Amino acid sequence: MASRRQIIVGLGGVLVAGAAAGTWRVLRQPEAAIAPWTGLDQPVADPRLDAFRHAILAPNPHNRQPWLIRLEGQDSAVLTCDLTKRLPQTDPFDRQIIIGFGTFIELASIAASGRGYRLLVEPFPDGEPQPRIDERPVAGLRFVADPALRPDPLLAAIAERRTNRQVYRALPSGRLAALAEPGVTLSENPVMLGQLRELAVAAITCEMHTPPAHKESIDLMRIGATEIDAQPDGLALSGPMIEATALLGITTRASLADPASTAFRLGLEDLERTYGSIPAAGWIVTPDNSRASQIAAGRSYARLTLRAAAAGIAVHPLSQSLQEYPEMADLYARAYRLLAPEPGQRLQMLARLGLADPVRPAARYPLEAHLRA
C-alpha cells in the first residue's frame, strides 16, 4: 500500500505534468500550416511546380488561397478560381480575389525567372467575367526557357514576406525610397497620414459593426494552433493569450461576433491601435477597373511587399474603405477624396508601412491542394 508521502509526491507529479501539459497547450504554435514556407531550396524537377510552390505564398484576401492550377502539356498551366473561396460580403464583385491572382502570378513569374524561364501570361483567355468571376480561366500561363533571363532579385524575399498587423514605428528618413515601384504611390505627408488614420479606424469600425461583413471574417477565423493546422487558411488567431482564453471559453466565434462582449471590445481596441498606426502609406491606382487591371494591381502589390521584405519594412493592407458594400459607401467616397485618383481611375490597394517586430508566416495549404487533373 502506498504511503501518505508517496501519494503526495505522486499527486505533485501529476500536478506538474498537468501544468506542463497546460503550458504546452498555451505556448504551441501552428506547425503543419507553415510547412509550405520551408524547403524552398530543395530542387523540384518541373519548373512550373517550382514556380507554383513559391506562388502559393502570395498575399491574398482573408488568406482564402482560391488558386486552382491545371498543368497542360509540358510547359503550360491554366489558373481558375475556386468559387467557394470568394468573399461575397466584403468583396461583392470579386475585385480583391482577382488582385490575389495577380499576386500569385507575380510570385510565379519571379520564381520562374530563377530557373531561367520567362512566364507568359494571358489574362482571362475566354473573356473577362463580370460582374462576378465564374469558372472560366483567370489566366493561361506558359513557361518559356530564356537563356538571357536573369533571376529577379526579389526571389529571395518571397519566403521572408509577411503581412504584419502590429503597431508600427516610424521609418528612418529616406528609407521609404527602397519601395519605389511602378504603379505604387508612397506618402509620408503628415497631414495626409493624419486623415488616413481617421479613415482607416472609421472603416474597420464600420466593418465590425456591419454584421454580415463582420460575420464573413468570424466564419473564417481559426482560433488557436489546432484549428490553424487543421484548416490552414482564413484569419488566424494564435499566441499564448488566444490559446489560454480559448481554453477558458472566453475567445470563441460567438464572443468575437457579439458587439456586447469583452472579446469584441478588446478586438476592436486592438484594431484601432494597429489601423491607426501609419508612419507611411502606399496605394495602387489603375486606369480602370477591368479584370486585367485588377491582375496588374496584384502584381504591383506583390512587388511592393517583396521590396518591403527585402528592406526590412513592414506592410499591412487597409482595404476596408476601398470595399464596395453599401454600409461602406461614405467612407469609400472619403477614401477617393483623400487619395484623389483621376476620374475613372480605380483605387485597388491601400497599405500602411513602417517598422515592426517580425511575425511568423501565415498558414498555407500545400501545393498539392491546388493542383487539378
Ligand X SMILES: Cc1cc2nc3c(=O)[nH]c(=O)nc-3n(C[C@H](O)[C@H](O)[C@H](O)COP(=O)(O)O)c2cc1C
Footprint on this chain of ligand X (rule: CB under 6 A): 59-63, 96, 99-100, 103, 162-163, 165, 316-320, 362
Kindly tell me which of 59 and 137 has the beta carbon lying closer to ligand X: 59
Q: Smallest distance from the beta carbon of 9 to ligand X, in angstroms?
A: 48
Beta-bridge partners for 189: none
Handedness of CA 38, 164, 363, 266 (dihedral sign): positive
What cell numbers appear for 355 in the block? Answer: 517598422
Kindly tell me which of 141 and 220 has the beta carbon lying closer to ligand X: 220
Kindly tell me which of 213 and 246 has the beta carbon lying closer to ligand X: 213
Q: Smallest distance from the beta carbon of 158 to ligand X, in angstroms?
A: 10
- In Å, what is the CA distance from 221 to each residue of 82, 113, 216, 236, 322? 19, 35, 9, 6, 22
Q: Smallest distance from the beta carbon of 91 to ligand X, in angstroms?
A: 8
CA angle 318, 80, 147 (to 5 degrees): 90
Strand pairing category for 235-237 and 184-187: unpaired
Q: Smallest distance from the beta carbon of 161 to ligand X, in angstroms?
A: 7
Kindly tell me which of 63 and 245 has the beta carbon lying closer to ligand X: 63
Q: Smallest distance from the beta carbon of 165 to ligand X, in angstroms?
A: 5
Bond from prior residue into 131 cis (ω within 30 degrees of 0) = yes
What cell numbers appear for 367 in the block? Answer: 501545393
* Rounded CA separation 120/364 (Å): 26
Kindly tell me which of 77 and 328 has the beta carbon lying closer to ligand X: 328
Kindly tell me which of 196 and 318 has the beta carbon lying closer to ligand X: 318
Helix, strand or coil, per DSSP, at residue 141: strand
Q: Smallest distance from the beta carbon of 337 to ligand X, in angstroms?
A: 20
* Rounded CA separation 55/103 (Å): 8
